[in-house]
Amino acid sequence: MKSYRALTVDWKDTKLQPEIRDYSIDDLPDGEVTIRVAYSSVNYKDGLTIIPGAGIVSHYPHIPGIDLAGTVLASSDPSFKEGDEVLVTGYGLGASHSGGFSELARVPAAWVVPMPAGLTAKAAMALGTAGFTAALSVHRMEQNGLRQDQGSVLVSGATGGVGSWAVSMLAKSGYAVTASTRKSAEIDYLKSIGARETISPSELETPEGKSLNRERWAAAVDPVGGPFLTHVLNSVRYGGSVALSGFTGGAELATTVYPFILRGVNLLGIDSVLCPMDVRRTVWNRIAAEWQPDGALLDAIVHEISLSELPAAIAQVLQGRMRGRAVVALS
């Protein structure tokens, strides 16, 4: 391939706007591994690249896409050879480095994960950064002692990418899952992917004048943050963990020390961007072996779009109207 197409975010007048542009292979950034991209996926962080001052991107024009899966075309690093199936999530992809919304990509070899056995490029990107974040959340909670016999696990923002995959993965591992959502129309969807019960966030609020809620959850996966996180922390059982991975509900946290010093609650920060490669490979291998979605689950959570449909999908995810995952077919 001597040329390729990519979604590019650039200034038009006083606004940042996405459009499809043609590039020469000479335009690829530095890196040891050149990849023909088969699939990428749409994440909230991708949407932030079109918001001035969001702090994701410092230079435009820019190609977003914080994850990709495809086949190695060329590599100057002996760890990879032409024809290898690989995936990339996190690091600088789609932020400080050109991303996955492109038919070709070139990245540092240190970012590249060999595709786990039995996992396809489409399934890998159906999971993508969101699925990896959900899996890392479950992995970390289990390292902190979570077991299936301890009670229900709460998942907030359950209709989003991280939330949907967390519900599915926890259910596959035998946990009783309570899914939190404001969207009453999505209750059947959440039960179809593994939720045992659903709850409205308003039902979790700490009563006025009290520092703690009654103990309800063995653990919680929270990609929402903000005021909701305070209520979750106040209702986790003794010794339980909350895996925090996002801030769609806000970046501020107003809480007390009581959940931590009276109930021994663990607040686990989940970072999918700079996660060490040994942990990254372990979690991706767990995904392939334990949590790989079957066809019915893919149909329930994932819908495939083309490069030309990406601008509308980015707008949708920013407006909070994206259910599950949008996977972008690039070749």
DSSP states of 145-174 = T--GGG--EEESSTTSHHHHHHHHHHHHTT
Tokens matching residue 55: 């702090």
Question: pLDDT, tens digit, for every residue of 61-111?
Answer: 999 999 999 999 999 999 999 999 999 999 999 999 999 999 999 999 999
269 strand-pairing partners? 244
Q: Are 173 and 221 spatial neighbours (Cβ–Cβ below 8 Å)?
A: no
Mean residue pLDDT of the chain comes to 93
- The structure's pTM equals 0.91
Question: pLDDT, tens digit, for every residue of 147-159?
Answer: 999 999 999 999 8
Cα atoms found within 13 Å of the Cα of residue 28, Cβ hemisphere only: 23
Residues with Cβ within 8 Å of 15's Cβ and at least 6 positions away in sequence, in order, are none
Tokens matching residue 281: 């490979």
**Among positive and negative, which fits the CA dihedral 51, 93, 268, 224?**
positive
Mean pLDDT is highest, among 136-150, 180-194, 288-302, 312-326, for: 136-150
